[in-house]
Structure 1
Amino acid sequence: MSTIDPDLSKVSRLPLGAGDPDRHDSLEAALSDAREYINFYDWGKAIKSEYLGYGVEGIIYIFLFEISPDRPEVFQWIWVIVGDVPSAFIPGDESKTPYQALDEYIGAMEEWVEAARQGKSVAKLIPVNVDANPANAEMLAGRLKFLDEKILPLIES
């Protein structure tokens, strides 16, 4: 399977391990959430390396994980987005930078919002761990607008 390696000049490598006492608590909590999220899936044997792509305390963190894939169709690089938004992964096959990963995340979540607003099935869309109803769609739409207008422009593309 061909893959595009991420631009590691746009991320900061994080030490593997249980925790880093010098790291800020919110970053450590977000990294723990991202690890739990990625480990929920059965397509990776192990996390080989971890990187921080971007973070805004209390709002969003974008992590990049290099994994040992369990199956040939699984990508070696996986972006994980956590924070005050639905957690999600973005396969690293085309997103080389945190900017691209967040842009792809926003687009996928906007598809979910539109389907939820219209009462359509979200089964084949990015998984969101809330009911697909208009109220949840509007809440998420507001967060996505904030990410698109205020956060995305701050991230170096």
Structure 2
Amino acid sequence: MKSAGNRNVRRVDAMIKYPVNYKDIQPDIDFYSELPGVYRKAEKYLLDFKWCAAINDSFLYYNLGEVFCIFLFEIDNTQSQEDNFLWVIVGDIPSMYLDVYGPDSTVEVLEDYIHLAEDWIAHVKSKQSVDECYPFNAEPTIELAELLEKKVSFMKNTLLNEMEDISLKRFK
């Protein structure tokens, strides 16, 4: 996991109106050179699930490049035709998907990520099983829990206060 470092959390690409269809991303968007790698990571994450037969479309809702992005994917879901839209959180953190029946906006997506990560961290640090936690693709070690805890602190203390709350309804 990378540090957020000196990244300006406020969007400096204020002329860009989110969400942006990934196919329409232009070089004037922040972190343009990092987005293909972040997108491929999100795409691979979803396609690794047996129920994700294909990705039909994708939209970038929040962009801090390889540090933190929120995408909305439209997929071909072999297990549920009603579950064809998923939020995907990806960056220098363990990736996560959330269905759109829970969080309805970027802030709610981030709040859910924080809550689920804090639960996982608490279980790891207290040496409890993580079987009932969100299934992060990360080894449940104290070292990783402490690193994720720092990322979650940044999310709570900085991202939540600076993030534009973009609703899924705006997309529909």
TM range (shorter): 0.7 to 0.9
* Cα offset, 1:32, TM superposition: 0.9
Query: For residue 114 of structure 1, what is the aligned residue in structure 2?
Result: 122
**TM-score, normalising length: structure 1:** 0.83
Match for 1:153: what amino acid?
N
1:155 aligns with 2:154: no
Tell me whether 26-35 or 94-103 shows the greater mean CA deviation: 94-103
Counterpart check, 1:45 vs 2:45: no
- SS state at 1:48 partner: strand
- What does residue range 58-77 of structure 1 map to in structure 2 within 5 Å? 58-72=66-80, 75-77=83-85
- Segments of 5+ residues of structure 1 without an aligned counterpart are 1-8
Residue 103 (1) aligns with residue 102 (2): no
Contact 2:38 2:65 in 1 (8 A): no
Query: Structure 1 segments of 4 or more deviating over 3 A?
Result: 20-23
Letter in 1 for 2:74: E
Q: TM-score, normalised by structure 2?
A: 0.76
Aligned to 2:23: 15
Long gaps (5+) in structure 2? 1-16, 166-172
Q: How far did 1:45 drift?
A: 2.2
Question: Aligned equivalents of 2:64 and 2:26: distance in 1?
Answer: 19
Report the alpha carbon displacement of residue 133 of structure 1 after superposing the two structures with TM: 2.6
Task: Count residues with an aligned counterpart.
Answer: 146
Aligned AA for 2:69?
A: Y
Identity within the alignment, %: 25
Q: Is 1:130 equivalent to 2:143 in the alignment?
A: no
2:89 to 56, 81, 93: 81
AA matched with 1:26: E
> For 1:15, what is the secondary structure of its paired residue?
helix
Question: Could you tell me which residue of structure 1 aligns to residue 44 of structure 2?
Answer: 36
Q: Is the 8 A contact 2:68 2:92 kept in 1?
A: yes
CA contact (8 A) 2:37 2:66 kept: no
Equivalent AA in structure 2 for residue 62 of structure 1: I
User: One-letter code of the match for 2:20?
Assistant: S
Q: Does 1:27 align with 2:30?
A: no
